[in-house]
């Protein structure tokens, strides 16, 4: 158990809908990273937050957004969902903004029908 929690575990929704994925980092970690894992694309970095502020951005679509709250949990919002958004979404956490070891949560499996 990495200490990173993610909810929900599974999410099934329809095209055009909006969903919110939640992540709580390990105790003491200030940085949260979001990744998308699909069958044909591997693990793709989406976005990083450190202590409430966006720190780095990857291949995140404009339909997706994220934020980190004062209690350091983070939410990833996915809107206008398409079939191709079906994937596993992971968050990871680290202590600092440039700390090496990233600890991953168990992921949220999103299925868009």
Q: What residue ranges bind another protein (CB under 8 A)?
A: 2, 4, 31, 33, 42-45, 48, 50, 55-56, 58, 90, 92, 94, 96-107
H helical segments located in the chain: none
SS (H, E, C) 33-50: EEEEEECCCEEEEEEEEE
Pick between residue 15 and residue 41 the one whose CB is nearest to another protein: 41
Minimum CB separation from another protein for residue 8, in Å? 14
Alpha-carbon gap, residue 24 to 83, rounded angstroms: 27
Minimum CB separation from another protein for residue 64, in Å? 15
């Amino acid at each position: 158990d990495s200490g990173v929690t993610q909810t929900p575990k599974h999410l099934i929704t329809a095209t055009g809908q909006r969903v919110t994925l939640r992540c709580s980092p390990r105790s003491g970690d200030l940085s949260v990273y979001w990744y998308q894992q699909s069958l044909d694309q591997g693990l793709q970095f989406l976005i990083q937050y450190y202590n409430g502020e966006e720190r780095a951005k990857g291949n995140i679509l404009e339909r997706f957004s994220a934020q980190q709250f004062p209690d350091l949990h983070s939410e990833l919002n996915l809107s206008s969902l398409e079939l191709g958004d079906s994937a596993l979404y992971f968050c990871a956490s680290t202590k600092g903004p440039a700390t090496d070891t990233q600890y991953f949560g168990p992921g949220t499996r999103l299925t868009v029908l």
